[in-house]
Every structure is written in C-alpha cells, then in structure tokens.
Structure 1
Amino acid sequence: MAIRPYVLLSAAVSVDFRLDDTARERLVLSNDRDLDRVDRERAAADAVLIGATTLRKDNPRLLVKSAERRAQRIAAGKPEHPLKVTVTGSGELDAGLPFWHCGGEKLVFTVDGAVHTARRALGALADVVSTGPVLDWPLVLDELGRRGVHRLLVEGGGTIHTQFLAQNLADELHLVIAPLLVGEAAAPKFLAPASYPGGPASRMKLLEARPIGDVVLLRYAPKSRRR
C-alpha cells in the first residue's frame, strides 16, 4: 500500500477570517515576502491542490515563480513544477483556463456521476480519476501516494480546508493573518461549521508564530491535540 503524502494546508485570511471579499477581482491578503514564502512551499511540494470553486474564481496558475527554485527542482530530478490537482463534484471545468495550459501534469479527482463530464471538458489536458459515488479524501491521498506524491500543498478554498481538518487528514496548517477587515457577510470564510476532531476544547499544537512584514504566520500541527 502506498504511503499517503504529508498534507500541508495553506491559507491567508483577514482579521475577521475571510479568504476574500465579494468583489470580482481577488483580494490579495498576503504581502510580497509572504507570497515568496508560499512560492518556497510550492517548490518543496510534489503536488499542489485546490478546489474547483477556487479554480473558477481565482483563475490561478499554481506555478513555482522563482527561476532558482525551478532550477533546483530540475537538478534534484523533479519536474519543474509540482503536479497540479483539483477536485470537482460536478465535473464542470473550463478547459480554457491558464491552469490547464502551463506547468506540468494535471490531475482531477471527481465522483462517478461526473467523470464523463470532466473528461469531455478536458480531453487530454488532465488525468481524471473518480473516488466513487462521493468524494473520498482518504482515497485521494492514497492515489496521490501511489503516484509518488510525498508532500501535498493544499491551497484552498474554505470547503477543502474544512474537509481536511474535519477528517483529521492535515499534518500541518499554515495560517497567515493579514491586517485587513473584510466585513462582508457573503465573503468566503476560512472554515465552515463541522465536527472537528476532539471537539471545541481540543487544542492544536502551535509550531511557530512569526511576523512577516505586516502579516503573521501561525503554524499548527492539527493532529497533535490536547485538552
């Protein structure tokens, strides 16, 4: 049986714990120094995962921006960019997005009822895999491990982060707090209500608290909990 990857969740939030505002253009919460830190985490990952909603809204490329880091990956015998992964329950994906036309290999996880829709939309642009009648995160991690992914960077959105934390599948959480207040009820939240392991009194282990310019990085070990 393949070993599941080490799972690192990464998110930047406002002080009122919003991932974005409701404007059409994405609200940039991190600063340049922190974005460079995230680029370093991408370069260290074997795969980067986002949900299809985040893919549609933010239109990210999920590339390693630093030429030096890309060169280091190649020198280490790795692809220039990590495997790009998305998950979708509907299979409705826009093949025209830059995500599919830059970087290296792409992988889509979906459910039985959406496999044909996703494959018809993407053709040869990505490998499409079903986890069964519902999205099964343990099976996702098993398949990534089978494909040689040792370190997985999860960049959102909130639904994805909620599911990983609720199912106790995240090994590490990087949460960046930006000095902004979004203040919009409809703005996307970092996490949704869920039955989290251990209940409300269970405390995650804090690994690090570090200012990076005007933002603060909090590193937690979600599986290391105590009361």
Structure 2
Amino acid sequence: MHVVVNAAMSADGKLSSHRREQIAISGEADFERVDRLRAASDAVVVGVGTVLADDPHLTVKGDDLRDQRRADGRSTNPARVVVDSSGRTPADAAILDDAAATYVCLSEAAPVDRRMTLADHAELVTAGEERVDLLRAFAALQDAGLERVMVEGGGELIFSLFEAGLVDELRVFVGPKIIGGRDAPTLADGEGFLAEFPTLELEEVDRLDDGVLLTWAVDER
C-alpha cells in the first residue's frame, strides 16, 4: 500500500479557522491537481471530524477523469474511507451516498445502534478497542484491494498516520494567506511528537496558483 497525504494550508500552517470553518486556501489549478490525485487513487480517506465539519463528497469532479477510470475498468470514483472510532458519521452524510463504495473504520467501543445504522450505508471495518487501530484498519483496506490511498485530513488523522508509520508521501499546497489562531487546526495535530520525529525528503517544489506545492517523501531511516 502507498499512502499519500494531501493538504492545503495557509502560509502560517493552518488548515482552517479556529471555528473549523472552510477557508479557500488554493485556487483552480490546485483543485484540478487534487482531482487528478483522487482519480489516480483506489481510496480517499478522511477522519470523522472532516465529515462533521465539511460533509465532503470525495468524488472525482472531472468528466474526463471519470471516463478514464471507467475505460481502465475501474469504478467511476475511488472508494471513500472514514476513520470514525465511535461511529459519529451521520447517516445522511454525503460520503455515504451510492456514488462510490464507502468504508467506515470503527473501534470496538462504537455503539451497536451506530453500527447498525452505518452498516446500511457502508462496509464496516472494526480495529482497536477504544480508538481505531490504524495499522490493522489499513491492513484490512489493503486486503480489500485498496493499494493507492490518498488522505485528505484532518490534522488529528494525519498526525496519527505519521505516528503509526503509515505515510509514504506528503503533498502540501501552501497558500498566500495568514489565518492565525492558537486553536486553529494544523497539518498534524494530535498529541505531537517529543522524540523520534518523522523526517521528510523534499522531492519537488512547484509554483501553483499564488502559492507553492511541496512534495515530500517520508524518510524511512
């Protein structure tokens, strides 16, 4: 499995405002890049916080990209995955519609009623007691044939994936805005590292829109 984390952040490293409101950080060129990356993926992954805040659909937008996927014998859209330890994904969330297959990764602590509701709309993957065990969950996704995985956030999930050693590549668009706010989400939130910090190797720097796209490989040393 190859895991690519993709994000857009402000010049001061914020993903959104402290109110968790979406802010336009990148422009059309980056939107098209993200769509191409989705189209090249077997699955797109987000945390439940992103689902609750943004209600994303996570489908491929370009007609030509969807047509190419079908011509290649693939589904119109990549599978969608929600990491949701306690089953908080709403039953009417856009990510649970029939536009693509959806997997919801739960912990064993997720309530039975939430499991039953979500099972009507998605394939459930149970891994971990109180929180989703990402290593086990991603192994199950790989067993389901999902090899090229794109992660779109949020910061808590991205931190946890780095902590678990699951990230292979990081692509970040840095936009020309300052958002500020000590409580505004950043690229990697969570508890933070105190030692054994993940390190990255810079592979590409590309000017895009009015910002810059940084492509990093995770240093496995």
- Could you state the TM-score of these two structures normalised by the residue count of structure 2? 0.93
Give structure 1 stretches of 5+ with no counterpart.
Answer: none
Q: Pick closer, same or farther for the CA change 1:15–1:131 going to 2, 3 Å.
A: same
1:194 alignment counterpart? 192
2:18–2:182: 8 Å Cα contact kept in structure 1? no
CA distance in structure 2 between the aligned counterparts of 1:198 and 1:24, rounded to whole angstroms: 29
1:150 alignment counterpart? 147
Q: Pick closer, same or farther for the CA change 1:143–1:115 going to 2, 3 Å.
A: farther
Q: Pick closer, same or farther for the CA change 1:142–1:123 going to 2, 3 Å.
A: closer
1:99 alignment counterpart? 95
2:109 alignment counterpart? 113
CA distance in structure 1 between the aligned counterparts of 2:194 and 2:5, rounded to whole angstroms: 15
Identity %: 32
- Could you state the TM-score of these two structures normalised by the residue count of structure 1? 0.90
2:125–2:140: 8 Å Cα contact kept in structure 1? no
SS in 2 for 1:48: strand
SS in 2 for 1:174: strand
Give structure 2 stretches of 5+ with no counterpart.
Answer: none
CA distance in structure 2 between the aligned counterparts of 1:107 and 1:217, rounded to whole angstroms: 29
Q: Pick closer, same or farther for the CA change 1:50–1:94 going to 2, 3 Å.
A: same
Q: What pairs with 1:78-89 in structure 2 (closer than 5 Å)?
A: 78-89=74-85
CA distance in structure 1 between the aligned counterparts of 2:40 and 2:209, rounded to whole angstroms: 23
1:168–1:197: 8 Å Cα contact kept in structure 2? no
Amino acid at match of 1:194: G
How many residues align structurally? Answer: 219
Which runs of at least 4 in structure 1 moved beyond 6 Å after TM superposition?
none
Q: After superposition, what is the alpha-carbon deviation per residue over 1:5-51, rounded to whole angstroms, capped at 9, x for unaligned?
A: 10000011111111001357411211110010000000000000000
Moved more, 119-128 or 139-148: 119-128
SS in 2 for 1:148: coil
Q: 1:178 aligns with which of 175, 179, 182?
A: 175
Shift, 1:87, TM fit: 0.9
CA distance in structure 1 between the aligned counterparts of 2:201 and 2:195, rounded to whole angstroms: 13
